[in-house]
Chain A
Amino acid sequence: MNRVVVVGAGPAGMAAARAAAATGVEVVLVDSAQGLGGQYHRRAPESLGGNEIPPIPGVRHLAATTVWALEPVPGGHRLHLRTGPADAPGRQATVLDTAALVLATGAYDRALPFPGWDLPGVFTAGAAQALAKGQKVAVGSRVLLAGTGPFLLPVAESLIGVGARVLGVLEANIPVGGWLRDPLALLAGRAKAAELARYVTMLARHRVPFRPRTTVIAAHGTDRVTEVTTARLTADWRVRPGSERRVPVDAVCVGFGFTPQLELAVAAGCRLAGEFVEVNEAQATSVAGVFAAGEITGIGGADLSEAEGVLAGLAAARLLGGQGETPRRAIAAVRAGRRFAAALDRAHPVRAGWQSWLAEDTLICRCEEVDYGALCRAVRDRDAIGVRSLKLVSRVGLGACQGRTCGRNAADLVGGLDPAGLARRPIAAPVRLGELATTPVHPNERDTS
């Protein structure tokens, strides 16, 4: 119980673990990947020319380890872990108790549905990034990027780096207009603004067109994508009639912002603010002994995540008697970062007109193959209201991904769905029945401090 446990080894989790360990308390850092870094600092394996992030002094790193359940126990929380090759049967079980938990589980791309988005060759922008950075593979040779937000730019750079030809970056909003309305926020994010300027130069050097108020509204092909339809959008993201163009591609990557990975926070009972975890100035959640840092508290990029991680790690360590100096730099970085993040959010919203891109037979839930027509019928003909009845009637969100991909979109289409309800996944990551049957009930890790 007397240890800090950090879940997620991205920028926030690594910073939290480092800050907590510096006070001398026991720290365990859990992550499902092989190496440290998360999505942002993802490295290729040595065999592909990459190099690992060095271990953090004083931190025990449990790699290739999934937290599949979290339950409250007197004085803290109990984590159920499985360590071993992803989705293999018979991975090693660990039950770990902690009085000071830091959740840094991050976020994943939001993809909006459009006709043909279920064809192979349609990827999220994050997939293209992960495969380029982590596996040195280009998802295609003629690739179009579409969505909203600055994340599309580093993805374009990574794709070019692994030899893909990027045909264009289509931004559904008008980023410059959005930013000019809030020059102070731009100032707060000076480093970020310089980074953005660098990407713009990079796109120009590689002659990659950047098209505002434009997106991909359909993908075409039989067994894989071979063509897409692009269109100019109105301010509300409806298609401008007559602006449709067919473009031959072998891959298209889409990213419309990010969805926080909330299931552990929801399982712990943390209060949400909108669709993110609510935290105070020390990154404490509404639940005693549970802290949150990084993208689950709001989308703001790696620097903000790291600064939040420092605060969360220190606060968690202090709960166990650890002593550390007040992290003034991190406090200032969080303040500036949040201001920038709020401006980012205002400049790159998802606008309601996307719903007009859908056809009756466009899949909303990819796992259960529930199309837009079926979703509408569940609401109209069978009065499916609320997360539970909508799932049971339409099967939307009932598949293997547990609604991670479709939940947010279904909520927009149907209206009135509770974000915490959408992220309630008592089994936070799938386990095999054989593993469930052999789950230890009591902690099998003795406290070493």
Chain B
Amino acid sequence: MRVRVDGQEKSALPGQTVAGVLLAGGRVSWRTTRNGDRPRGVFCGIGVCFDCLVVVNGVPDVRACQRVVADGDEIRTQLGAELPGSAS
């Protein structure tokens, strides 16, 4: 499968999560916080903490550790609080 991460094409395997793809590629953060503009990535890894939020196919606030990738997914960094459909 092919997905795009911040515009770059990456290969992915069925059953991999977005966090699995990103961490395997050496990324540890893919979101910035709303107030402090601080980087965040996976913390709890099981869908509880909502720290690993990412934009998938234009939809923000997707937990990277829970979302299983689909072929052609467009994944990008989430900058602070984003509204659905807004461009970065």
Chain A residues packing against B (C-beta within 8 Å): 32, 34, 39, 44-48, 50, 85-89, 108-109, 111, 118, 120-124, 126-131, 134-135, 137, 139, 223-224, 261, 366-369, 399-401, 404-405, 430
Contacts and interface: CB of A to CB of B under 8 A. Distances in A.
A32 B66 contact: yes
Contacts of A121: 28, 41
Give chain B's interface residue range (CB within 8 Å of chain A).
35 or more
B46 A405 contact: no
B75 interface: no
Contacts of B40: 118, 120, 366
Contacts of B47: 32, 86
A128 B45 contact: yes
B20 A405 contact: no
B29 to A, nearest CB: 4
A400 B50 CA distance: 6
Given A124-B43, A126-B44, A369-B33, A405 B49 contact: yes
A50 B28 CA distance: 24
Interface residues of B, dominant DSSP:
loop
B24 A137 contact: yes
A295 B21 CA distance: 30
Contacts of A430: 50, 61
Contacts of A127: 42-46, 65
Contacts of B59: 87-89
Interface of B: 13-17, 19-20, 23-24, 28-29, 33-36, 38-51, 53, 56, 59, 61-63, 65-68, 70, 84
Contacts of B24: 135, 137
B44 A108 contact: yes
A369 B61 contact: no
B20 A34 contact: no
A-B pairs, top 8 by smallest CB distance, nearest first, are A45-B15, A127-B45, A135-B20, A86-B66, A400-B50, A47-B13, A120-B29, A120-B28
A62 to B, nearest CB: 16
A122 B67 CA distance: 21
Contacts of A108: 44, 46, 48
B31 to A, nearest CB: 9
Given A48-B13, A86-B66, 14 more contacts: A45-B13, A85-B70, A86-B62, A87-B62, A118-B38, A120-B29, A120-B39, A120-B41, A122-B43, A131-B65, A224-B29, A367-B51, A369-B36, A401-B49
